[in-house]
Every structure is written in C-alpha cells, then in structure tokens.
Structure 1
Amino acid sequence: MRRRRVYQYFVCASVLVYIYYFFGVCDYIFSKSYDDNFDYPLSIDIRPVVNEVLSGKKPSVAPINLYPYRFLSNSGKCSTLEKLDLFIVVKSAMDNFAKRNGIRQTYGQENIIPGRIVRVLFFLGIGDSKSITQMRVDREMADHKDIIQIDFHDSYYNNTIKTMMSFRWLYEHCSTADFYLFTDDDMFVSVKNLLDYLYDNPSTSSANEIESAKNNKMVVGNERDGILFAGYVFNSSPQRFSWSKWRVSLDEYPWNKWPPYVTAGAYVVSNRCMKLFHVGSLFVKNFRFDDIYLGIVAKKLGVKPTHCSRFHFYKKSYSESGYQDVIASHGYSDPDELYRVWNELNKS
C-alpha cells in the first residue's frame, strides 16, 4: 500500500512538472508588466534620433539593426519623379507562382481605377540558387518585371526580414506614394474600397494633409499629422506553450503583453509612416514575427495603430452584398477563388 501511494505521488508530481513546463507556467508567472515597464532595445527614446535621420543629419546614436542583405533584382515600377496614389507590396514565397498570377489578373492590375496611379511589386527571398524554382522565378522576373528578390533564406521566421527589406526598398527607390499597402499573397484585396477609405473618409489622412506633414519634424502624431498605420488591430499576449510555433521565451520578450499591433495579412501605412518605420527599425532590435515587430516599432515611435473593421483577419464568408465594403480578407490561397470573387464584384 505504501509503495502504491509513493508511486501515485511520483506520477502526480511528474504530471505537474510536465504541465508546468509544457504550458510555460513559469514564463507566465515571471513575465514583466507591459503597462509598468515596457522597454525594448534600444532602451532609449528613438524619436529624436529618427528625426535626425529624416532631417538628413548624422544620427547621434549608432543603428543596431542593419539587415546585411542585398536586392538581387530591381524594377522600373517607380520613379522619384512620379507621384503615386498607392503602392502595393505583396509578400510572396518563391514557389507561389499561381498566387502571383492570380493577383496580376485581379487586384494587381495597375490601371483599373480611373484617375489613380497604383503600382504593384512582389517581394521574395531565396532558396537554392540552382533549383528549378529559382529558374522559374528568373523567367517570371524577366517576363513581368514586378519581383524584387532579396538574398535571405525565405522562411516563416524570416518574415520580418522580408517586411523590413521591403520598407528599405520603398524608402530608397519609391518614396513618392501617398499610401503603401502591405499584403500577403493569400489575401483578397479591393483597391477601390481601400482608396475610398483613404481619400474619402474624413477619419483618415487626406493626400494634402500627408503632403503638408512631410515638413513636420514631429514623430508623435495621429492621422491628422499624416501618420496612418491601419488594419486589423490586435491586443494580445505572448504564447508561452512549449509546443506552439508562436512560442516566445522570456529571454526573447519578457513582458506579459504585446504592444497593439496590426495583423500582417494586410495593412496600410501613409507616406510618412513608411519612412518612420524604416528609419525607426534601424534603432529597434529585430523580432521574428513581423506584425509584432512593427507593433514594437510603432510603440517606440509613438504611432498608434488604427483599427479598421474592413480589414478581415479571418476569412469573411463571401456574398456579393457582404463584400461591398471589404478592403481585405484572409483565406484566398486558391487563385481561382480569388479570381471568381474579384470578377463577380467587378463585373460592371
């Protein structure tokens, strides 16, 4: 009887230890309060340094986050002399050929909105340089001239690199658009609805306000200052479960909440916000989840994300009437479905 009881105690203790580590109980208990002491490296107010860079001055603090990657291709899609209404950045994986073609045939058509100048580019990483996939990408780039390839390994945990390298490309090669939409290649997007939201909605910045804000040296602001960062906003906490692909350790991020962040599937930024995010990222330690990282950069810049319910993080069930005001919806991995829905909504 005594041996059996000892065995039962041992089993219970083992289960408790397993639960303790498997569910990251220790991490939840010992995480720091975000509300009381959030302080992500660089542990300084980066706003004065960002303003120095944007003013053409040498920063008083050295950057800590210079991604050591090169652009392997370029595009004539943008000129510093051309004024754009919207630039669409599509984050794509190398072998997603059908998805890219689907986008080219639907919302990626650049001349479908009368009176608006829109440009679209796909951003990719690399794999095996001698693979059949790379050879197909090379042919695709030659045919369409709408792909920017970057020499980092294309993987899920490198999405922040892809995102911030695309910000760098825009900053260096296409800084003339009023707005920039960043989207994954499995999203439905209505460019018309997006432009209506950006230009016709009084709660967002107008093009004229953005133009005037370019001379504004203040980083802190909201839409009236020409600083817009909008999409589906989440307020959530890190996952500490050992089995989760989204697990984050206390060493990586010790606080109990994330800053408010816009989900990475689709979001829009104004011209000034694009520049702030690029320059700000030079002084903010890299983080492997791109939407969280932009939330951290926004927090350190004093930029407040704007929630727009017309961006759908989950797939919105389709009906013609239900999609009349949708800007973006997740869940369109099938290019045929994207084409069918887009074609029905644009049949006139």
Structure 2
Amino acid sequence: MQAFVTLCVKAMKSKIFFKVLLLASLLVSAFLVLSLHVTFRLSEDTGGSDLRALLKQVKSKDDEDKVVDQRSGINFEALHSRQYEPPSCQKGQVLLILVTSAQPNINRRNTIRNTWALGWEDSASPWQVVFLVGQATGEGAANLIQSEQEVFQDLLVGNYMDTYRNLTLKVMHGLKWAVSTCQPLFILKTDDDCFVNTDRLPRFLVQDNPIRTGLYAGSLFAPEKREVIRDPWSKWYVSWQDYGKERYPPYVSGVGYVLSLDAAAAILRVAAWVRPIPVEDAYVGILAEAAGIPALSSSRFTKHNMNWRVCNYRYLMVIHHLSTQDQRLAHSNMVQARTACSGNPTITRWS
C-alpha cells in the first residue's frame, strides 16, 4: 500500500500527469459547451417551422404520447375548475364572444349584458357572449361569483388566480372550452372595456367574410410595437427564458380578434408544446405563427375610443377603452345606424 502511494506521488509530480489532467479537463469542458449549445438550440427552435414539422409526425394519440415529454406548454386539464358549472352553449352557432373579465368588474359585465349582449337569442345568425373570470381572492368573492353564475349562467370560471399575468391562461381556457364544447364557426376574444358591434359582426361573418378557414383577424401591431419588454417592473415583462427572441412575430391586439374554428383548434394544439408567456395577445401570435396561420390586419378593430359618429357603426366591429357610460352610448349609436345611415354603402371587406 505504501509503495502504491509513493508511486502516485511521483506521478503527480511528473509533467506527464499534468498534461493528461489538462487534456482531460479540456475534453470535459468541450463536451459541456456542446451539450449546452444543443440544449439551447432545441429550446430556441420549439416554434415556427421546426414545431410544425414535429406536429406533422403526431398522427394519433399514441404518437402524441411519445412526444409528450417535449412539452413545456399549456396544461389544459389544470385550467378547468370543477367548483363552478360552465355555461351552456348551442353547438355550431355562428359566433361565440369570449370576454375577459375579473370578479370585481360586475358593473362592466352588467352593462354589456344590457347593451351589446342583448338580442342574441333572436338573431338570424346565432351568437352568444361568455365572460371569462378566474379565482377571486377577496372575502366572500367566491360566493358572489357563484351567485352571479346562478343568475346569468354566462361565466366560465377557471382554476387560476384572477391576475393580469394569468390572462394568457384565462384566454387559453376559454378557447379550449369553446372549441371542445361549443364548436362555433368563429370565436371573438375581447375585453370587458370593449364594445362589440353585434348588430354587424355575426351577419358579416356569414354573408360577407370571404375567409372561412385559417382566419386570425384584428388590429395588427407595427413591427416596432412588437419588441419584447425586458423591464422587470413592467406588467408586460417577459424574461429571456420565457421567450428567447427580441421581437414577437406578427400578432393582433387583444382588444379584439376573430378566429375561425379550425384556426382556434390549431392554435390550441400548438399551445400544448409552446411555453406560455404573460402577454396574451403576443402568445396567440406566437402560436398562430407556429401553426402556419397568418395574422390579418383589419381597421374594423380599433384600440381607441374616438367618439365615433353614428355612421361609423356600420363599419367598426370592436372599439376599445369604453366606460360603462360609453358602452351605453355606443349601443345607442349602433341601433341608430340601422336606419340613420342606410344610404351609406356597406363595406364588405376586412380592411
């Protein structure tokens, strides 16, 4: 044993030992760098054409199970809340309008119920309004949501805290429920501070809309507005780990966008693999790009309330940033536009 120790000591003192040790260290370092590079590339490429190539290989449930370990996207099963009964819906209706809201915003919801959500039962182009809310935190908030649901039966309550950073989960939950349960021809996602021209939009989708499949339309952001915000103090902050590019792909504003049923289904399928980010409309744009669905820019969706004239309501479909008083005025203008502007030509294009 002593002879072995002596031999080791002599070897450690030799130049050969240090050369071997140095070579081994370099080889290990090179292997680690290569491993990290491959891992980064796999993470960076989980989207776009590479993701579409992966999804083309998934032709059955068995195939899907084989690649499930590669997922880092939405866990749809976890979004469903069994505490609240979901709304009922008629399958195959023309339009389902999903309105993101929050438990305290009952005045906004009631205003919508009494303005542009009226008349859906009697429409020649069937449509419906459903409000998306999450789990409330205040004392008695859960009971208030339960009571509201029992009265109106138009709330879809998710199994996640009702925060702005969870808006992506809220919208994914709403889309999943709509596609799985209601299967409307089209889905409109909007917010509870927006006006929707329900007098025009359902009819336009049936009579004038030339794009029946692969439709993803709304107010498109300019390239300079698609830069990823890295400021941790911003409510739109997204880390490099969550999204590894400097700019989002083309996407439309979350104040309102229309998806055809097949486009929504494709987006949901991709969402199971694509890591979510807390910027809902940008995330939908990321999913649409990965699914091969182009974003269609339409000036019928406006991000600002400009005190529009009555005749503008023959054209505009969604208007953002309305108070409850503004909602009532917009609804009145929409009704007046039925007859007051009958001499104006009807525009039948998205642009």
Fold match (TM-score > 0.5):
yes
Matches within 5 A, 1:9-158: 39-41=44-46, 45-47=50-52, 50=55, 58-59=63-64, 60-62=66-68, 63-65=71-73, 66-67=75-76, 68-71=78-81, 72-79=83-90, 82-111=91-120, 114-128=123-137, 131-158=139-166
* Structure 1 Cα separation of the partners of residues 186 and 261 of structure 2: 5
Q: CA distance change for structure 1 residues 250 and 75 in 2, over 3 Å: closer, same or farther?
A: closer
* Structure 2 Cα separation of the partners of residues 194 and 54 of structure 1: 35
Question: Residue 164 of structure 1 aligns with which residue?
Answer: 172
Q: What TM-score, normalized to structure 2? A: 0.74
Question: Residue 289 of structure 2 aligns with which residue?
Answer: 299
SS at match of 2:238: coil
Q: Which runs of 5+ in 2 are unaligned?
A: 1-41, 339-351
Pair 1:240 & 2:230 matched: yes
1:42 deviates by: 5.8
1:182 deviates by: 0.6
RMSD after superposition: 2.6
Deviations 1:142-167 (A, max 9, x none): 10111111121111111011011112
1:323 deviates by: 2.9
* Structure 2 Cα separation of the partners of residues 323 and 182 of structure 1: 19
Deviations 1:86-142 (A, max 9, x none): 1111111111001111111122125366311112211110123x7233222111101
* Structure 2 Cα separation of the partners of residues 76 and 330 of structure 1: 25
Deviations 1:12-61 (A, max 9, x none): xxxxxxxxxxxxxxxxxxxxxxxxx9945368733355467686664142
Question: Residue 215 of structure 1 aligns with which residue?
Answer: none
Between stretches 299-308 and 50-59, larger displacement belongs to 50-59
* Structure 2 Cα separation of the partners of residues 43 and 261 of structure 1: 14
Q: CA distance change for structure 1 residues 76 and 294 in 2, over 3 Å: closer, same or farther?
A: closer
Residue identity opposite 2:50 in structure 1: D
Task: Give the length in aligned residue pairs.
Answer: 287
Between stretches 295-304 and 192-201, larger displacement belongs to 192-201
* Structure 2 Cα separation of the partners of residues 288 and 227 of structure 1: 25
Q: Which runs of 5+ in 1 are unaligned?
A: 1-36, 206-225
Q: Larger relative contact order (C-alpha < 8 A, sep ≥ 6)?
A: 1
Question: Residue 208 of structure 2 aligns with which residue?
Answer: 201
Find the structure with the greater CA-based Rg.
Answer: 2
Q: CA distance change for structure 1 residues 105 and 316 in 2, over 3 Å: closer, same or farther?
A: same
Q: Percent identity?
A: 25
Residue identity opposite 2:267 in structure 1: F
Q: Equivalent of 2:268, from 269, 278, 288?
A: 278
Instruction: Work out whether residues 316 and 330 of structure 1, in 8 Å CA contact, stay in contact via their aligned partners in 2.
Output: no
Question: Residue 259 of structure 1 aligns with which residue?
Answer: 249
Q: CA distance change for structure 1 residues 181 and 202 in 2, over 3 Å: closer, same or farther?
A: closer
Pair 1:341 & 2:330 matched: yes
* Structure 2 Cα separation of the partners of residues 140 and 202 of structure 1: 35
* Structure 1 Cα separation of the partners of residues 67 and 119 of structure 2: 41
SS at match of 2:228: coil
* Structure 2 Cα separation of the partners of residues 120 and 53 of structure 1: 34
* Structure 1 Cα separation of the partners of residues 44 and 204 of structure 2: 34
Answer 1 or 2: which has greater helix percent: 2
Residue identity opposite 2:276 in structure 1: N
Residue identity opposite 1:86 in structure 2: L
Instruction: Work out whether residues 77 and 119 of structure 1, in 8 Å CA contact, stay in contact via their aligned partners in 2.
Output: no
Q: What TM-score, normalized to structure 1? A: 0.75
Instruction: Work out whether residues 305 and 320 of structure 2, in 8 Å CA contact, stay in contact via their aligned partners in 1.
Output: yes
* Structure 1 Cα separation of the partners of residues 172 and 267 of structure 2: 8
Matches within 5 A, 1:323-342: 323-332=313-322, 334-342=323-331
